């Protein structure tokens, strides 16, 4: 009886060590990297679109008023963050720069700026990075992005951030062993 309990305990220790080594292999880290992300949503208002003139008719007067608008960016993966790191890399900064440019100069042919009403930042980590129940890394990523957006001229009073941890994973589109 004692021998079987000892044997089972030893098997458990060996299995834990083996599975622990597999869980942090470079292949696993690479596979789950899309979940290493920060989602940024900017909501605001912009003037109503200017109606296009019909052929042979005078240009219509612009309608007064505003419409709601929302922009979203998601710096993610190895281009934005290293494994277990909250330091924003150049690829992540480029993604955020595009978002800030869209706020200031519009999107596509609509070159009117967006009056920002709120910015919501959600930091995420993958299941290999996060300690169970600990959102410290995802919170640090959200704060890093917030500081970067503030440095680019976004009003800090309009920013709300949260650390989600690994609770909202993106389905991985490639096979992970």
**Does residue 131 fall inside a structural domain?**
yes
**Does residue 173 fall inside a structural domain?**
no
Distance of CA 108 to the CA centre of its chain: 23
- CATH number of the domain bearing residue 161: 3.30.1330
**Does residue 142 fall inside a structural domain?**
yes
**Does residue 172 fall inside a structural domain?**
no
Q: With b meaning 16 or more CB within 10 Å and e meaning fewer, what string describes 90-109?
A: eebbebbeebbebbeeeeee
Q: Which domain holds residue 142?
A: 32-165
**Does residue 91 fall inside a structural domain?**
yes
Other C-beta atoms within 10 Å of 168: how many?
12
**Does residue 40 fall inside a structural domain?**
yes
Query: What are the average pLDDT values for consecutive 10-residue runs of the chain, which has 177 residues?
Result: 48 43 58 80 84 76 79 88 90 94 80 88 84 79 96 95 85 59
Number of domains the chain is built from = 1
**Dihedral Cα 174, 91, 104, 35, nearest 10 deg:** 40
**What pLDDT score does 165 carry?**
86
**Does residue 59 fall inside a structural domain?**
yes
**What pLDDT score does 144 carry?**
96
**What pLDDT score does 117 carry?**
92
Residue 24, phi-psi category: left (phi > 0), alpha (psi -120 to 50), beta (remainder): alpha
pTM confidence score: 0.74
**Does residue 176 fall inside a structural domain?**
no
**What pLDDT score does 90 carry?**
94
**What pLDDT score does 113 carry?**
84
Structure tokens at 4: 């079987």
**What pLDDT score does 146 carry?**
96
């Amino acid at each position: 009886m004692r021998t079987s309990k000892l044997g089972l305990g030893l098997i458990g220790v060996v299995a834990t060590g083996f599975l622990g080594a597999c869980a942090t292999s470079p292949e696993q880290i690479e596979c789950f990297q899309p979940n290493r992300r920060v989602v940024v949503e900017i909501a605001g208002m912009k003037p109503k679109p200017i109606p296009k003139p019909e052929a042979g008719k005078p240009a219509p007067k612009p309608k007064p008023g505003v419409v709601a608008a929302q922009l979203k960016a998601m710096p993610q993966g190895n281009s934005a963050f290293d494994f277990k790191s909250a330091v924003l890399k150049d690829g992540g900064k480029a993604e955020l720069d595009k978002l800030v440019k869209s706020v200031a100069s519009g999107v596509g042919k609509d070159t009117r700026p967006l009056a920002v009403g709120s910015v919501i930042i959600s930091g995420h980590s993958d299941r290999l990075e996060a300690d169970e129940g600990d959102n410290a890394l995802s919170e640090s990523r959200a704060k890093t992005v917030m500081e970067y957006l503030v440095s680019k001229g976004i009003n800090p009073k309009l920013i709300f951030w949260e650390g989600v941890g690994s609770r909202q994973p993106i389905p991985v589109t490639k096979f992970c062993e």
